[in-house]
Amino acid sequence: MSIKAEYIWIDGTKPTPLLRSKTKILAEGQEPPVWGFDGSSTNQAEGHSSDCVLNPVFVCPDPIRGGDSILVLNEVLDIDMKPHVSNTRRATAEVAEKYADQDMWFGMEQEYTFLEDGHPLGWPRGGFPGPQGPYYCGVGADEVYGRDIVEAHLDACIEAGLKISGINAEVMMGQWEFQIGPAGVVEVGDHMWIARWLLYRIAEDFNVAATIDPKPMPGDWNGAGCHTNFSTELMRNDYDACIAAAEVLGKHHTEHISQYGPGVERRLTGMHETAPWTEYSYGVSNRGASVRIPWQVEVDKKGYIEDRRPNANMDPYIVAKLITEVVCEDAAS
C-alpha cells in the first residue's frame, strides 16, 4: 500500500511566516526522503533560481487522513544543503545541544482567535459583544464559540502524539488557547508548528480561519500571546535558580523583546494583563509583570517561571533559543 505523507514547512513571508504543505506518496516502509519546492512562490527564492530543499526533521501520524498516513515537518535548506535564511530551527538545535546537560523544558501557551468572514467568531456583525469578563474558561452558547473545532483539534494533537497539555477559552470572545509542553528546546517548536498546522487545517473544514495575530481587535479587547514557561533541571530543584533566571532575562530585555513576535508593542501596552514592552519586571503571581513566578513555585521553593512577553505570532524556535542561551550560560558561569 502507498502512504500519504504531508510535507509541512515554514515559509519566508514577512513579518510573520506562514505554514505551507504538499503531499508526497511514499512506498510502504519508505523513510520520508529529502524533497523540493518552488521557493519563488513562498518568499524563499527569486524566480531565476527558485529551488529550495525540504529536509524532514520530525514525523508523526496524520490524524486528518488516518491509517498509515503521516505528517512530515521539514526544515528548509538551500540547494547546497546549507540552512536557508528562513530556517530558524538549525541555530536552536545547536544551542540545545550545547546546553543539553541542563535539561531545559519548555511549556508554551498558544493563544489564537477564530475568524469567520474576517470577524471574530461569535461577534455580532457590525457591532460588539458584551465587555470581557464571562468568556475566559466560559461555558454556554452565549459565551463560547468554536468549541467543536477546539475539541477536534485537541483530539487530532493527541492522535498525532504531540505533547499537548491542555486547552481553554480565552478572555476575548472567539479567542482560545492550547498548551504544548513540557517538551525539549527543539521539540517544543516542532510540536508547536505541527499543532498550528493542524489548527488551520481542521478549522478549514468548518469554514473558519484561525489567526495568531497578537492584537486582532484594537481597543479594549485582550491581545493574543504565547506565554513561555521554562525550567532547567536546577530550577526544578532550587528556587534561587528560578530567581536567577528571571534576573538574567531582564538583562537581555531589549535584545529579546524585538524577537518575541512582530507587533509586540501593539500587545504589550501595560493593559489587558500585560507589562509594557518598554520595561522589564518580574514578580510572584503577578500577571501584570513581564515574567511571573507561579505562587506554587514560591511555596515549593522550586519549579519553573513564565515569560509572559512572547506574542502569539512568535517563532517557538527563536524564543526557546534566546531563553536557553542566556539562562543556561548564566547558570554555567
Amino acid at 65: R
Site pattern 142..181 for ligand ADP (x: CB under 6 A): -----------------------xx------------x-x
Query: Which residues are CB-contacts of 76 (< 8 A; sequence separation ≥ 6)?
Result: 9, 10, 39, 44, 52, 53, 54, 55, 83, 84, 86, 87
Q: Which stretch binds ligand ADP (CB under 6 A): 115-123, 268-276, 303-311, 320-328?
A: 303-311
Q: For ligand ADP, which is the closer residue by CB, 75 or 109?
A: 109
Report, in Å, the least distance between residue 175 CB and Mn ion: 9
146 binds, among Mn ion, ligand ADP, none (CB under 5 to 8 A by kind): none
Q: For ligand ADP, which is the closer residue by CB, 230 or 282?
A: 230
182 binds, among Mn ion, ligand ADP, none (CB under 5 to 8 A by kind): ligand ADP
> Per rule CB under 6 A, is residue 24 in the interface with ligand ADP?
no
Is the Cβ–Cβ distance between 115 and 206 less than 8 Å?
no
Q: For ligand ADP, which is the closer residue by CB, 84 or 302?
A: 302
C-alpha cell at 267: 500587545
> Per rule CB under 6 A, is residue 107 in the interface with ligand ADP?
yes
Amino acid at 140: G
Q: For ligand ADP, which is the closer residue by CB, 227 or 267?
A: 227
C-alpha cell at 169: 477559552
Is the Cβ–Cβ distance between 90 and 24 less than 8 Å?
no
Query: Which residues are CB-contacts of 83 (< 8 A; sequence separation ≥ 6)?
Result: 75, 76, 77, 90, 91
Q: For Mn ion, which is the closer residue by CB, 177 or 213?
A: 177
> Per rule CB under 6 A, is residue 102 in the interface with ligand ADP?
no
Is the Cβ–Cβ distance between 316 and 108 less than 8 Å?
yes
CA nearest neighbour of 30 among 10, 54, 1: 1
- Residues in contact with ligand ADP by CB under 6 A are 105-107, 109, 165-166, 179, 181-182, 227, 229-231, 236, 303-304, 306
